[in-house]
Each structure stands twice: as structure tokens, then as C-alpha cells.
Amino acid sequence: MEDRIDLRVTLGALALPNPVMNASGTFGYGHEWPELTRSDCLGAIVTKTLTHEPRPGNPPPRLHETPAGLLNSIGLENVGVTAFVREHLPALRAQGRVMIASIGGDTPEAYAACVAGLEPEALAAYEINISCPNIACGGAAFGRDPREAARVVTAVRGVTGRPLFVKLTPIAADPVAVGRACLAAGADALTAMNTYRGMAIDVTRERPVFARGTAGLSGPAIRPLALARVWELSRELQCPIIASGGIVTAHDAMEFLLAGATAVQIGTALFRDPARATGILEGLRAIAARKGVARLADLIGRAQRAE
């Protein structure tokens, strides 16, 4: 029975063989160490966030483990679009998976320039990162305000007809309003959520661990918070949602699907087990079989409909 479960899902016009992908920033550029990550089982591979020009990122330390997650302050370090296409994309393309480029920028025009540089490469979709908490400008500054978020989406939509997914920030006063504005501007789906703002203090030095003071908190600690956001967005907007936030097991992933997510991203769990997505996918298949459904997609949003 498990082998016959149909795992396919769709995000707008984008069809995926299954709903499990990596979260941007936790998987390198997407092609590294495939025998370790088992990237061949993923429904899609999401690159680390790319910007039009190279970025050096924030000074170390950049990672700090917490009792139930991870704080990070990478700062969108990346080689830039031109070097990505030359140095990383051929190996990523050779894996034969659905490829989604995460993009960032300091202005709406910079986001658009990034996508314009990638357009000739025929990637499957773009995830617009308007939610990074670890950069001085851009990032979450766009994600907090519906009008600013819409400006970014409008600029990007002007240079591509490919599917656009917008990665939301949890620090917005009204994430539903931001999501609605992004959809109205041309987005096809929403990714919920990026990391929550947190910090750690070095007791010996009596100083913050990170140079910027705060950092982004991910991992199991934020899962109930992210789940509540997915539930709210699904109920209010009825759009495809990619869930991200502390997913470690198939049970975790199924919670998000039942809440209304169409797909899930695995992030912090990959640091401990780079092949974790494989176990989650097998577990989802087993849960669907126990529930007696032939299509995993039939479970999407079922908890909403049960009310």
C-alpha cells in the first residue's frame, strides 16, 4: 500500500514529485555532497539566497546552538548570480531535480536584476526572500510592510513569468496582509516562515555572541509558532503555502500539511542529519497509508475542513 501512495503536489503551475524540499541556506548551493544529503529524493532543491552581486556575509561566529534549535547570522553570504551560474549551476542541474532559486536584494530593483541574471538558465521557480533578519537593509525590512513587499514582487514579476514564492517574516505585524499584498502583486505561493529574531549572550565575555547582537532562531523551538502562521495564512488566503519551521519528523511535516501547507521545507534538522528528508518522505508515505488515502494531496488542509 505504501509504495502506491501518490506523493505529487502542485504549487501553482509548478508540479513536484513530492512535497519535501530543503530550506534555503541549509543546503549550500544545492549540489554539494549528494551522496550524504540524498538530494535525489527531494521534491525540489532550493539554493541558498543569491544576490546580484557577491556578498561577504556577517563576521563570525555565525552559528550558535540552542537547547531546541539554532541561531544563525550568516548575512546572505553568496558568490553572486554570475559566479553561481558559472561555478555551481552545472553540478546542480546534473542532479536532475526541480530547481528553485532563492533571491535577495537591498532594493526591489536589485531583486529584479538578480532574477534577470538567472532567467536564461530556465530554473523552475524563484523564492523571494523578503525576510532575512541578519542584514542591515532589504530582507525583513521589505517583509514587514505590505506595500514594500508588493514593490519587490512587482519588480520581480516584471522580468519573469516563472512561479514566484515569497518567503515571509514572522516579525510582520500582520503577516496575512503582507501575504495578500504579495499575491495581488503576482506571487504564486507563500513560504512560511523564515527565522524568528533571537539572541545569545557569551557569559564569559559578557557580550552578545553575534556581532549584530541578534540572529535568526530556527529549529523545533519555533515549530508551534510557524504552524500557527501556516494555519492562519491558509485559512485567510487559500493559496499554496510552503511550510518551514522546525520540521524534524514526518509527524511534524504532516501537522503542517493538515494545517493547509502544500509542501514543506527541512532546514535545521539537516545540520544533524543531512539525509533527514529521506526519512520524512518515507514517514509521510506511511502515515498516508495508515489513513487510507491514495494521494497525499488529499490530506492537505484536512484539519481546516474538519472544523
Residues designated as active site: 132
**What type of residue is 242?**
I
Is the previous residue joined to 67 through a cis bond, with omega within 30 degrees of 0? no
Residues paired with 11 in a beta bridge: 14
Residue 292 and residue 179: Cα distance in Å, rounded? Answer: 33
* Planar angle of CA 45, 187, 136, nearest 5 degrees: 75
- Strand boundaries in 154-238, DSSP class E: 164-167, 189-192, 196-199, 201-202, 207-208, 214-218
Residue identified by cell 564569559 is: 204
Residue 169 and residue 267: Cα distance in Å, rounded? Answer: 16
Residue 280 and residue 302: Cα distance in Å, rounded? Answer: 19
- Distances from the Cα of 183 to the Cα of 24, 141, 149, 239, angstroms: 21, 18, 10, 8
